[in-house]
Amino acid sequence: MPPPTPIEPKVTEQPSAEAKAAPVAFRFRCISCGDLSDAAVQNFRCSRCGDLLEIIHPSWVSGASAPAASDLKASWKQRRSSLSPVDLSGVWRFRELLPALENLHHVISLREGNTPLYALPRCSRLTGLPHLFAKHQGMNPTGSFKDTGMTVAASFARQAGFRWVACASTGNTSASMAAYAARGGLRSLVLVPEGKISWSKLSQSLDYGAVTCQLRTDFDGCLRLLQELVLRAPVYQLNSINPFRLEGQKTLAFELLEQLDWQPPDHIIVPGGNLGNSSAIGKALLEMHDLGLIVRLPKLSIIQAEGANALVRTMRETGGKHLISVQAETHATAIRIGNPASWKKAVRVLQATGGTCEQVSEIEIAQAKAEIGAEGIGCEPASAVTLAGLKKLLKRGFVKPEESVVLVLTGHLLKDPGFTMDFHRGDLFPVAGSDGEENGASAALQSLRRPPIVLDATLEAVIGALEQGEKSSPEN
Ligand code: F0G
């Protein structure tokens, strides 16, 4: 195979007729040594010190040609009534704050973004927080927030002329990458840990035509291997180490603030796995603040599962200075990650926004997931850590009852049906008191369970079930 080619940014004119901003140039900057470069090698690591890269827009940093906040808001609003394919994307609609493609015809889009912001009245009552919302990224085309980053990174892969894209994944990244590769006429290679991701996630990459390898290792092992592979073969790496992914994932925050009429919430709470998403959201908040799109920074907090708590331990035991890796184990498969690649970026956004991190138990995750389900919304277990974490942050006094909170629900309920079925059938935590279950938690879980009922096909049996259901309804 030919050697890998560097990935170079281009300076281009703003593609939108109505946008008034100057041409956007972007550069790669190392997050540790600050080295600036115009090209990145395929593992997206600094060629001087080996740390991760981020994308910056030098003209904004110098203040020379920062786009005006009012122009941006007006352009973005106007595009909501446009029928052009890039404007219909909830990511490319915000293109002034993204690295610019040579030509917008290179965009690979599935109309990602445009996700709902829901009020959570039941969870509001439960937590005593009147201003509680969920930004549901599970409503993206392949069922997770990954699509918002994938549209950008896959488009750059195609522009750079790659034939193959690849990722390591706990499920959602692979589903998203496979879909965008298929739409863009690219081949895709998926590396997932064998037996550790749900069939519904795996089935997506199969259907979208990816070469799917189940490796006898964990996620961290898959990612290590991929990092070596991209240096040996002309394969474009689409994990969140790739800074183009994070640029796309920033748009969650732009869209959220637009939905809140640019009034920042007090807190945004997000699950943490490999820590790319929290880093992306934090970067967006800081950019919006710098550009005057918002006047106040929300606190961004990150929640992990107790069994995959590398960031929590890193913050508590080293003050964010050195990564403490863990052997990850949790039912929340999407965040079963012990050696998070973007931990330094995440520490930086926690510190810059005044946020915190917290860990939650398996039972707390299951309970929170059922509570979000009972809102008629639902999410996958990894997303439910946000509500479970919020309850702990309230207890700690970090979140105050009068404050406004947005939970980022990262993935769709249908992505982990095995977890949901096991929970409702009582198979997930079958023995009361196991898994560190506290007093009272068992009763709380029981009241949320709605197992399927097998009945004779008679009217009496169904009426009996109706009466039983009435007695156990949440309002009783
Ligand atoms: N929530 C869901 C639903 C996820 O799929 C992931 C990560 C996260 C949260 C954590 O995000 O890694 O940016 O901190 N899933 C990856 C995957 C790793 O392969 O799908 P993060």
Query: Is 70 exceeded by the pLDDT of residue 6?
Result: no
What distance in Å separates the CA atoms of residue 169 and residue 245, rounded to the nearest whole number? 14
Q: How far apart are the first and last CA of the chain?
A: 66
CB 388 within 8 A of CB 367: yes
**173 in ligand 1 pocket by Cβ < 6 Å?**
yes
What distance in Å separates the CA atoms of residue 94 and residue 326, rounded to the nearest whole number? 37
Query: Is 60 exceeded by the pLDDT of residue 117?
Result: yes
Reported as type and span, the H/E element at residue 150 is helix 146-159
Ligand 1 atom with least separation from CA of 173:
20
**143 in ligand 1 pocket by Cβ < 6 Å?**
no
Query: Is 60 exceeded by the pLDDT of residue 184?
Result: yes
- Cα–ligand 1 centroid distance for 439 (angstroms): 31
Q: How many CA atoms lie within 13 A of 324 on its CB side?
A: 13
**Most confident of the ranges 17-26, 59-68, 80-89:** 80-89
Query: Is 50 exceeded by the pLDDT of residue 9?
Result: no
The residue whose CB lies within 8 Å of the most ligand 1 atoms, and thus the one to mutate among 249, 410, 413, is 410
Q: What percent of the chain has pLDDT over 70?
A: 91
**For atom 4 of ligand 1, which residue has the closest CA?**
334
Residues 176-203 have a mean pLDDT of: 94
Query: Is 90 exceeded by the pLDDT of residue 63?
Result: no
Query: Is 70 exceeded by the pLDDT of residue 113?
Result: yes
What distance in Å separates the CA atoms of residue 301 and residue 309, rounded to the nearest whole number? 14
CB 118 within 8 A of CB 134: yes
E strand intervals along 177-322: 187-193, 211-215, 235-237, 267-271, 299-305
What distance in Å separates the CA atoms of residue 256 and residue 134, rounded to the nearest whole number? 10
Angle subtended by helix axes 199-207 and 172-184, to nearest 10: 10
- Cα–ligand 1 centroid distance for 75 (angstroms): 31
Q: What is the pTM of this model?
A: 0.93
Q: What is the pLDDT of residue 24?
A: 52
**240 in ligand 1 pocket by Cβ < 6 Å?**
yes
Which residues on neighbouring strands pair with residue 118, listed in sequence order? 134
**For atom 7 of ligand 1, which residue has the closest CA?**
334
**277 in ligand 1 pocket by Cβ < 6 Å?**
yes
**335 in ligand 1 pocket by Cβ < 6 Å?**
yes
Residues 312-326 have a mean pLDDT of: 98
Q: What is the pLDDT of residue 20?
A: 37
Which of 134-143, 280-289, 410-419 is least confident? 410-419
- Cα–ligand 1 centroid distance for 273 (angstroms): 6
Query: Is 60 exceeded by the pLDDT of residue 11?
Result: no
Whole-Å CA distances, 302 to 70, 299, 311, 388, 411:
31, 10, 9, 12, 16
- Cα–ligand 1 centroid distance for 172 (angstroms): 7
Whole-Å CA distances, 231 to 124, 244, 356:
49, 18, 36
Which of 12-16, 69-73, 177-181, 384-388 is least confident? 12-16
CB 61 within 8 A of CB 243: no
- Cα–ligand 1 centroid distance for 104 (angstroms): 28
Going by C-alpha positions, the residue among 412, 120, 69, 402 that lies closest to residue 254 is 69
Q: What is the pLDDT of residue 14?
A: 34
- Read off the tokens for 228: 């070596």
Residues 152-174 have a mean pLDDT of: 97
**For atom 19 of ligand 1, which residue has the closest CA?**
169
Query: Is 50 exceeded by the pLDDT of residue 12?
Result: no
pLDDT in tens, 417-437: 999 999 999 999 865 555 554
Residues 152-176 have a mean pLDDT of: 97
Q: What is the pLDDT of residue 442?
A: 78
Q: What is the pLDDT of residue 431?
A: 56
Whole-Å CA distances, 242 to 45, 91, 152, 255, 415:
9, 17, 10, 22, 24
**272 in ligand 1 pocket by Cβ < 6 Å?**
yes
- Cα–ligand 1 centroid distance for 278 (angstroms): 10
Query: Rounded to an integer, what is the distance from CA 329 to the centroid of its chain?
Result: 19
Which of 19-23, 70-74, 93-97, 138-142 is least confident? 19-23
- Cα–ligand 1 centroid distance for 327 (angstroms): 17
Q: What is the pLDDT of residue 17?
A: 29
pLDDT in tens, 229-283: 999 999 999 999 999 999 999 999 999 999 999 999 999 999 999 999 999 999 9
- Cα–ligand 1 centroid distance for 37 (angstroms): 28
Query: Is 60 exceeded by the pLDDT of residue 284?
Result: yes
What distance in Å separates the CA atoms of residue 125 and residue 106, rounded to the nearest whole number? 47
Query: Is 70 exceeded by the pLDDT of residue 90?
Result: yes
- Cα–ligand 1 centroid distance for 155 (angstroms): 21
Q: What is the pLDDT of residue 22?
A: 41
- Read off the tokens for 387: 């509500």
Q: What is the pLDDT of residue 7?
A: 56
Q: What is the pLDDT of residue 432?
A: 52
**276 in ligand 1 pocket by Cβ < 6 Å?**
yes
- Cα–ligand 1 centroid distance for 334 (angstroms): 5
**193 in ligand 1 pocket by Cβ < 6 Å?**
no
Strands 187-193 and 164-168: parallel
